[in-house]
Amino acid sequence: MDKIELIENDLKYIWRPFTQMKSLENESNKPIIIKKGKGIYIEDIDGNKYIDAVSSWWVNTLGHSNKRLNKALYKQAKKIEHVIFAGFTHKPAIEFSKKLVSLMNNSLKHVFFSDNGSTAVEVALKMAYQYQVLKGHPEKKKFIALKNSYHGDTLGAVSVGGIDMYHKLYKPLLFEIEQAESPYCYRCPMGLNKEICNCECLNSVENILKKDSQYIAGIIIEPLVQAAGGMIMYPPKYITKLRQICNKYNILLIDDEVAMGFYRTGKLFAYEHALIVPDIVCAAKGITAGYMPLSVTITNDEIYNAFYDEDLDGYKTFYHGHSYTAYPLALSVALENLKILEEMNIEEYLKPKIAKFKQELEKFRNHKNVGDIRQTGTICAIEIVKNKATKEPFRYEDGIGKRIYLEGLKLGAILRPMWNCIYFITPYIITEKEIEKLTDIAYSALNKVLPNEEK
């Protein structure tokens, strides 16, 4: 099939995610056919190359077509591609679990496998509720979640979400939660200065617990960065204080590391910056460096042991599983990924790149439409505003993000802004020279859509 026929068949047979399909009738919205990728670049059918500045939905960490990961996948495929995980096991699952737990300093010891971030969250919510039941507290069936939060697209994950565009329509299908204020430092819900605040936005969490703690099973957060909410970033002290509140009211802290895990923030998991340990951690995305669908929900002895029993009536069994639980192909890649990251001494490897991003972000500082610049580890965001003094945002209908995205494509980068934020979540292997090139492209795309008037 030629390019025209491929596009016609795509539009005829495929229903795309997060896309109004009728909009694809517009020539500028036609999907781009990608034929290959290498390193930080992907290449389309016409030979155009693009910097993958969003790591293909935040999953790619070691670059496209990594030789060692390719080899690990091929090697495992020659042995066994898949086997039922009820009553059977295999080396990739065992070795990966042992390695991951050791990297977490044995703070959390029990790994439950699934195949995507939403499902890892579903597992955590069900696990937390059943734990409360097993401890004699069946009334603890509600969760606290934050405004602007995103935890996935399955119904349980949507229930604890807080983005109206994604979640409002499905509200009649969802379970009830308590919603607390978002730690949105640039637009502080308490009207405070982020440089001198004491995380007063946490008062909304404690106010809920003062009133209803006897009905709350746990709270779920995205640590340090509320990604899909607009790359909203907040300080580690928020999580430190939240852990103290959870301890005080005896509720579980569920840490959704789906986007932040595996060194996106500069550490294996973002919660480490807060010097605490959650009760449950959900992880996916970077777990296989973008190669295969895989996720884990990891928990501690206290929760695991509540389920551990002879259990003749099934009451204490955790009835959750998937056909592709502990998928050997994915786990062989995930294990190799951990080995590569360890050999790279990844925390040290990322430090100069994090510093380079910080330096390059300064070029946006004086643009008349840049309201806020924020960075957590390798994640960078530039919030675009209509009025810098008042922080007035552009309306979604203004299409500023889409226009910047299209200009970025012309210049050779996939920017795909989140709401009114240009952001960078690149593969870790990006060079300092490529960081400079990427930020130059982003600035040019921004300036094309919103010309700067500074003298």
List pLDDT tens digits, range 316-345: 999 999 999 999 999 999 999 999 999 999
- Provide the pLDDT for residue 274: 98
Domain range annotation of the chain: 32-65+346-449, 71-343
The percentage of the chain sitting over the pLDDT mark of 90, rounded to a whole number, equals 92
Q: Are 183 and 199 in contact (CB under 8 A)?
A: yes
- Provide the pLDDT for residue 454: 54
Arithmetic mean of pLDDT over the chain: 95
Instruction: Over range 69-91, report the average pLDDT.
Output: 96
pLDDT one-digit tens code per residue, 377-398? 999 999 999 999 999 999 988 9
pLDDT one-digit tens code per residue, 147-179? 999 999 999 999 999 999 899 999 999 999 999
- Provide the pLDDT for residue 306: 95
State the pLDDT confidence band at 315, using cuts at 50, 70 and 90.
confident
Q: H/E/C letters for each residue in the chain?
A: CCHHHHHHHHHHHCCCCCCCHHHHHCHHHCCCCEEEEEECEEEECCCCEEECCCHHHHCCCCCECCHHHHHHHHHHHCCCCCCCCCCCCCHHHHHHHHHHHHHCCCCCCEEEEECCHHHHHHHHHHHHHHHHHHCCCCCCCEEEEECCCCCCCCHHHHHCCCCHHHHHHHHHHCCCCEEECCCCHHHCCCCCCCCCCCCHHHHHHHHHHHHHHHHEEEEEECCCEECCCCCEECCHHHHHHHHHHHHHHCCEEEEECCCCCCCCCCCCCHHHHHCCCCCEEEECHHHHCCCCCCEEEEECHHHHHHHCCCCCCCCCCCCCCCCCCCCHHHHHHHHHHHHHHHHCCHHHHHHHHHHHHHHHHHHHCCCCCEEEEEEECCEEEEEEEEECCCCEECCHHHCHHHHHHHHHHHHCECCCCECCEEEEECCCCCCHHHHHHHHHHHHHHHHHHCCCCCC
Alpha-carbon distance of 95 to 161, in angstroms, equals 34
Contacts (Cβ under 8 Å, ≥6 apart) of 413: 50, 51, 53, 438, 441, 442, 445
The amino acid at 449 = V
Look at residue 358 and tell me whether its pLDDT is greater than 50.
Answer: yes
Q: Are 144 and 219 in contact (CB under 8 A)?
A: yes
- Provide the pLDDT for residue 225: 98
416 dihedral zone (left: phi>0; alpha: psi -120 to 50; beta): left
pLDDT one-digit tens code per residue, 216-227? 999 999 999 999
Look at residue 137 and tell me whether its pLDDT is greater than 70.
Answer: yes
pTM value > 0.75: yes
Instruction: Over range 45-65, report the average pLDDT.
Output: 97
Instruction: Over range 104-112, report the average pLDDT.
Output: 96
Among 15-19, 88-92, 342-346, 408-412, the minimum mean pLDDT is found in 15-19
The percentage of the chain sitting over the pLDDT mark of 70, rounded to a whole number, equals 100
Look at residue 455 and tell me whether its pLDDT is greater than 50.
Answer: no
Domain boundaries 32-65+346-449, CATH class: alpha beta
Instruction: Over range 194-207, report the average pLDDT.
Output: 93
Query: Is domain 71-343 given the CATH code 3.30.1490.20 in the classification?
Result: no
Instruction: Over range 279-303, report the average pLDDT.
Output: 97
Look at residue 110 and tell me whether its pLDDT is greater than 80.
Answer: yes
Q: Helices 328-343 and 67-77, interaxial angle, to 10°?
A: 150
Q: CA 124, 333, 156: angle at the middle one, nearest 5?
A: 20
